Amino acid sequence: MLPRRFLQRGVLVCPFLGAAAGTRGPAAATCCSLPYRTCTTTTTIPSSNNAPAASSFAYAPLVSGNADSGVRDAHEGMCNLTDVMASSAPASVGVDRRVTGGDMLWMIDICAARAATKHVLGHFVATGTPRFDHSHTAQKHSPAPAMDDASQPMAPSSGTLSSSPPKPKPAPPQLSTATVAMDAVVFRHPVASGDVVTMEGTVVCCGSTSLAVDVRVSRIQFPTRVKQFVANATVFMVAIDRNTMKPAKGAVPAVRLSSPSHISQHYEATAAKDSHRLRDEEMGRIRQSVDFDLDTLLDEVNKKKKFHVPMKDTIMTASRMYFQGELNVNDTVFGGEILKWMETHAAECGRFFARNRRVVTLGVHSLEFRHPIYHTDWVSLTSRVVYVRHSTLEVDVEVSVERKGGVTTVTNVASFILVSLDEASRPLEIDCGIALRKPTDLPGTPQFDEDIECVRRYACAKFRYDWSREHRRYCLR
């Protein structure tokens, strides 16, 4: 059944928004999803004082997306992924039995891509190459010109052949999917090497070109065989035409959600997207600001640290190329490989800052795929510590590529949350903080030890932390 927080006096309420998405009695409610064209549901909620128990409520199916492109049931596109995990972390980090966050993000991206492809195409070839189905995007083509006995086009009715050759017809769309972004991911429990990890990916929201996949991660502990919930993530995918590598409009069928759990996931995904849109708008204003009060900006936790390091001294860089074996069916670098590389360097940046080998990934605030990466690109990565709490810290990672003409393009941006642990895997206090003021400056002076861009990064990180605390998505210690 739907969680209790969705039912308030017979009104269906979207979390994080406070706006009612339904009314008493049988009613047709429109969800407050921003990027989706059609999203309606008929929900039966008793309004009498003698309402039956919640277990007897009847929920009609909810359809999300553009029904003109077809409707597919959510169960048809579900992806169940199961595998035995092995740690890829070096033994030097001191947590060699713990599976890294990059390995988990790699699997989450695979599960989401599989579910999205099954929903868009309806099937998937075992070799990994989609068998494209154009039944829902079929266009009426003019019949082929009549041929004479010499196998040459016959003359038009006017009796003269056309002087110019006919224009080539555009190739039919070859549909595929690509990862666009990933919602806040928090690993509530660690996954040890040898654990069996199960992931369930379900398409819960659809638009004209985009779709949201909810991925639930669990682990089966060895040797007790006890199943434990680990994390959940919302991955946003887009349907693309492989001929042009651009979004394929109208190619995503609508999704029909029948079970109460899927309806709950739908409202959580749409409300979270709306909430994070407002967060990103506020962060955009922060990035444009030039006036900061450091006495207000710096929190008490950072001020009480024993040592303070300028943000520019925490920067770490890396560069590499990708090869054919790391490409997906779109001939671009697989997103899971990029995530693994970003998480590896984010954790290493945190270890150097905290001076502790036992620093592991706790979660991801936000993650964006802005542009694809090709195997001919020279890829560079920059990581830096932008925020510190008691035992946790936040590391921003940017990936950019250098292409013809020396043009540099930022392709991926992510904010990782790390936690410092002791030998017993308990949170360990970090004794170093971020310095934004020159040591000789008096309180209240506008002079910065860092440039204004670093101050903006710190302000954005603090805003993300306060936002996450307010919405109870997760909480830094």
Residue 439 confidence class, pLDDT cut points 50, 70, 90? low
| pLDDT tens-digit map of 296-325 | 888 888 888 888 888 999 999 999 999 988
Higher pLDDT, 5 or 209: 209
Q: 300, exposed or middle or buried, with CB in 10 Å at 0-12, 13-18, 19+?
A: exposed
Q: What does the alpha-carbon distance between residue 20 and residue 10 come to, in Å, rounded to a whole number?
A: 10
| pLDDT tens-digit map of 177-230 | 999 998 888 899 999 888 899 999 999 999 889 999 999 999 998 778 889 999
Residue 302: predicted pLDDT:
87
Position 424 pLDDT exceeds 80: yes
CB-based contacts of 452-458 (< 8 A; 24+ apart in sequence): 452/290, 454/310, 454/311, 454/312, 455/292, 455/294, 455/297, 456/286, 456/287, 456/289, 457/311, 457/384, 457/386, 457/396, 458/297, 458/311, 458/386, 458/387, 458/434
Under 8 Å CB-to-CB from 303, ≥6 apart: which residues?
A: 433
Q: What does the alpha-carbon distance between residue 175 and residue 248 come to, in Å, rounded to a whole number?
A: 7
Residue 130: predicted pLDDT:
41
| pLDDT tens-digit map of 320-345 | 999 988 998 889 999 999 999 999 99
Q: What does the alpha-carbon distance between residue 11 and residue 20 come to, in Å, rounded to a whole number?
A: 7
Phi, psi of 191, deg, nearest 5: -110, 125
Query: In percent, how much of the chain has pLDDT > 70?
Result: 70
The string of DSSP letters for 88-109 reads -S-GGGS-TTBPPHHHHHHHHH
10 Cα distance to chain centroid: 33
Residue 245: predicted pLDDT:
85
User: Is the whole model's pTM more than 0.95, yes or no?
Assistant: no
Q: What is the mean pLDDT of residues 139-152?
A: 41
Alpha carbon distances (Å) from 79 to 117, 267, 367:
10, 20, 22
Residue 42: predicted pLDDT:
34
Least confident of 124-138, 200-214, 260-274, 299-313: 124-138
Average pLDDT along the chain:
76
Q: What is the mean pLDDT of residues 235-242?
A: 91
| pLDDT tens-digit map of 15-56 | 333 333 333 333 333 333 333 333 433 333 333 344 344 444
Higher pLDDT, 92 or 44: 92
Q: What does the alpha-carbon distance between residue 276 and residue 203 come to, in Å, rounded to a whole number?
A: 19
Q: What does the alpha-carbon distance between residue 59 and residue 22 come to, in Å, rounded to a whole number?
A: 12
Specify the DSSP element, H or E, that contains 378: strand 378-388
Position 152 pLDDT exceeds 50: no
- The tokens for 24 are 């008493």
Residue 329: predicted pLDDT:
87
Taking alpha carbons only, the member of 44, 116, 107, 469 closest to residue 263 is 44
Q: What is the mean pLDDT of residues 248-253?
A: 89
Residue 145: predicted pLDDT:
41
Three-state DSSP class for residue 24:
coil
Q: What does the alpha-carbon distance between residue 94 and residue 464 come to, in Å, rounded to a whole number?
A: 30
| pLDDT tens-digit map of 165-174 | 455 445 456 8
Based on its alpha-carbon atoms, the radius of gyration of the chain, rounded to whole angstroms, reads: 26
Per-range mean pLDDT, top range of 3-12, 240-249, 434-443:
240-249
| pLDDT tens-digit map of 284-298 | 888 888 788 777 888
Residue 96 confidence class, pLDDT cut points 50, 70, 90? low
Taking alpha carbons only, the member of 266, 258, 256, 254 closest to residue 68 is 254
Residue 109 confidence class, pLDDT cut points 50, 70, 90? very high
| pLDDT tens-digit map of 359-404 | 999 999 889 999 999 988 999 999 999 999 999 999 999 999 988 7
Taking alpha carbons only, the member of 338, 443, 343 closest to residue 396 is 343
Position 134 pLDDT exceeds 50: no
